[in-house]
Amino acid sequence: MSAEVVLRTEALTKRFGAFAAVEDLSLEVRRGDVFGLLGLNGAGKTTTIRMATRLIAPTSGRVLLFGEDVRDNRLEILNRVGAMVEIPQFYPYLTGRTNLELLLGLSGSRDRARVAECLDRVGLAGRGDDRVRTYSQGMRQRLGLAQALLTRPELIILDEPTNGLDPQGILDMRRLIGGLNREEGVTFLISSHLLHEVELSCNRVAIVHRGRLKVQDEVSRLLAGAGSIARVRAEPLDLVRKVAAALGVAIESEEAGTLRVRCEPEALAAWAAELHRAGCRLHELTPGKATLEEYFLAATAGGPHAA
């Protein structure tokens, strides 16, 4: 039985004048997913998130959250959703703790213990009583996540959550998202252009390009379908290319005498033997795995993996 869909967009479209920021976008985020919304800057990720949280209205199409149209029941639905849209901004003259207390108050709760818990969870327990104006970008990002956690939401929508974080902060954020997902069953929709992060954090992903959906699937399936990438350094190059063509091995790129070729790991040995038989001098043959980055670049360039 397939998992419950907590967020579904149906033919979602947003136009600003003649410009279509999002066009005919249909996504499906299932309960328990850490769903990555990938795209270049200006691909329509933030516009999609704004429509999902009803900050802006779509030109056409609709967003269903927990099976209900967000237009019809926004207030009740938003009680079950935590969101951080774009760079989180807080009242700089208030402390982090007061900001959270006031924001939690808007949801009708005055649970100070929950505020302390959220601050602790994002690693800001020691700085909660400092004014936000003294916070670094990374700390504001953490506070943004803390405010999204306040109401114990079932779905958390995060727009570029690792923006401005240092490597340790990125690692902490990844662990935090993973922990909430595994331990509390929180579903995440995360927009990002950090492909490596999405690959490590998300189980499902959608790639949007110029407002349109290019592909939507499980990360593992996308990468398996993309085949494996091997690095080959051999001479002479003309002969290497001929052998590759004869065996049907696709050359993805070529740089300074090193080829990146797409073929299954089990075919590599046969190819190496064939290169040897053809008289090529093989200096290096490194098997590798396709990455989301390669898949993404191919998809957004309209290459062979574009859906």
Q: How far is the CB of 57 from another protein (least distance, A)?
A: 11
Which one of the spans 105-113, 118-126, 200-208, 245-253 is the region binding another protein (CB under 8 A)?
105-113
20 versus 94: smaller Cβ distance to another protein = 94
Rounded least distance, CB 55 to another protein, Å: 6
* Contact mark string toward another protein, 57..96, x via CB under 8 A: -----------------xxx-xx-x-x-xxxxxxxxxx--
Query: Of the candidates 20, 56, 239, 285, which one interacts with another protein according to CB under 8 A?
Result: 56
Nearer Cβ to another protein (17/167): 17
Contact 165, 136 (CB under 8 A): no
Answer whether 72's CB lies under 8 Å from 108's CB.
Answer: no
CB-wise, 140 or 209, nearer to another protein?
140
Residues from 234 through 263 that contact another protein (CB under 8 A) = none
Judged by CB under 8 A, which of 20, 103, 272, 306 binds another protein?
Answer: 103
CB 29 within 8 A of CB 189: yes
Shortest Å, Cβ 56 to another protein: 7
Least distance to another protein, CB of residue 30, Å = 22
In DSSP notation, 212-279 reads: EEEEEEEHHHHHHHT--EEEEEEE-HHHHHHHHHHHTPEEEEEETTEEEEE--HHHHHHHHHHHHHTT
Cα–Cα distance for residue pair 296/148, rounded to 1 Å: 28
Q: Toward another protein, which CB reaches closer, 132 or 206?
A: 132
Q: Which is nearer to another protein, 46 or 201 (CB)?
A: 46
> Closest separation between CB of residue 197 and another protein, Å?
22
**Burial degree of 292 (CB within 10 A; 0-12, 13-18, 19+):** buried
d(CA 54, CA 74): 7
Q: How many CA atoms lie within 13 A of 291 on its CB side?
A: 14
Question: Chain-centre distance of CA 44, in angstroms?
Answer: 13
Which DSSP symbol is given to 134?
G
The number of residues that bind another protein (CB under 8 A) is 29
Amino acid present at 212: R
Provide the 10 A C-beta neighbour count for residue 33: 23
Beta strands in the chain (DSSP E): 5-16, 19-25, 28-30, 34-38, 60-65, 68-69, 81-84, 155-159, 187-192, 204-209, 212-218, 229-235, 250-255, 258-262, 281-287
Binding mask 7-46 for another protein (x = CB under 8 A): ----------------------------------------
Q: Which stretch binds another protein (CB under 8 A): 20-28, 47-55, 61-69, 282-290?
A: 47-55
Residues 113-172 binding another protein (CB under 8 A) are: 147
Note the residues at the interface with another protein (CB under 8 A): 50, 53, 55-56, 74-76, 78-79, 81, 83, 85-94, 98, 102-103, 105-108, 147
